Amino acid sequence: MAKVKIKSVLEQIRGQVGDLVFKHYGDEMVVGRKPDRSGILPSEAQLEHQERFRQAVLYGRLVMADPEMKAFYEKAA
């Protein structure tokens, strides 16, 4: 990974841009290539966790689409 010291708009970049990943650690920006996980098989526990997360995302989308449920959660928050 490369360490970058740039005082400009680039300091605001976070996340993935193409095959590059921009990360911030304290005052430093680190740029690296996107990891290749194509040959890695997830464990059974990881697959279960991914499914629970997928279900949570679906529930959140349903809540956001229903004005009554959305108002209920906004009030609780």
pLDDT top residue among 62 and 26: 62
| pTM score above 0.85 | no
Task: Identify whether the C-beta of residue 24 lies closer than 8 Å to the C-beta of residue 14.
Answer: yes
Residue 70 has pLDDT above 80, yes or no: yes
Q: Is the dihedral of CA 39, 43, 46, 48 positive or negative?
A: positive
The structure tokens 């590059």 sit at: 20
pLDDT top residue among 3 and 52: 52
Any residues with CB less than 8 A from the CB of 76 and at least 6 apart, and which? Answer: none
SS3 1: coil
- Residue 56 has a pLDDT of 98
pLDDT tens column, 5-60: 666 666 778 888 889 998 888 888 888 999 898 999 999 999 999 999 999 999 99
